[in-house]
Amino acid sequence: MDIPQNIKNNFIVRRDYLDWINKETSIFVYLDLTNMFHWQDVLGWRFRIEDVVGQLFTFPNIKEVKVYYGLNERDRENSEAFHNRIKKTGAILRPNPPKVMKFIKKDIDEALFFQRRTMTLFDGKVKEKIYELIDELQKSGIILEEPKCNFDVEMTMDMLDDAEKITAVMLFSGDSDLVAPLERLKVRGKNIYVVGVRDMVAGELHRIKDKYIDFGKFYTGKRGYIKSENPALGGTA
């Protein structure tokens, strides 16, 4: 039996979160989806974007939800399919047209595995083993690339453009680069609410926020997904 979302909210979501949302007149929500996907490693489970947006829209004072996510031209078909899933939720996919992901080549060296300070803690034998592993990886010809698609500028511009329409911002991100626009909004009397997970929200955001919302104690949707729902595959389920 499907449980109505408003009942899930009342029994699963922390009461102070609900009290805050209900007191606001006009909330705009901004989701940095790439940033959010990293949360899943800490949480130990995976969320569905449909469930996140669907839950947000059950609150009448959440007026708009913007989702920021790039286009992978190396897998365009699946990437566009995932974009379509986002659009079907009623959220606004930003930017428009989509921003293309870049792939940054990563060097295979000790910095790939450890911070410099951590390396100083190892004795000679441990370091020798580490360098042997690095040497083998370099000889293998493996190329490591990291997808990159930042939305700091786009999110900043959107938040400032929306300022006259809102009483509060609800930010799903832990990125410290978003502090500057949030400071401007706060000066203009807007409330700042940051949604995140432990150890993945910058201290600067904690200092400027009016309230922090633990995503794991807010989200009521499906935890985990079948293969066809995997955002990496752009599934249509």
List the chain pLDDT tens, one digit each, 237 residues: 688 999 999 999 999 999 999 999 999 999 999 999 999 989 999 999 999 999 999 999 999 999 999 999 999 999 999 999 999 999 999 999 999 998 888 888 888 888 888 888 899 899 999 999 988 888 898 888 877 888 999 999 999 999 999 999 999 999 999 999 999 999 999 999 999 999 999 999 999 999 999 999 999 999 986 454 555 444 433
Indicate where the chain has its CATH 3.40.50.1010 domain(s). Answer: 5-97+150-229
Nearest CA among 147, 199, 197, 202 for reference residue 180: 202
What is the distance between the alpha carbons of residues 107 and 97, in angstroms, rounded to a whole number? Answer: 32
- With left for phi above 0 and alpha for psi between -120 and 50, is residue 141 left, alpha or beta? left
Q: For residues 170 and 29, is the Cβ–Cβ distance under 8 A?
A: yes
Map residue 196 onto helix, strand or coil: strand
What is the distance between the alpha carbons of residues 18 and 27, in angstroms, rounded to a whole number? Answer: 13
Crossing angle of the two packed helices 179-187 and 152-161, in degrees rounded to 10: 10
* Topology of domain 5-97+150-229, CATH: Rossmann fold (3.40.50)
Whole-model pTM: value is 0.83
Q: Which residue type sits at 202?
A: A
Q: Which residue type sits at 99?
A: K
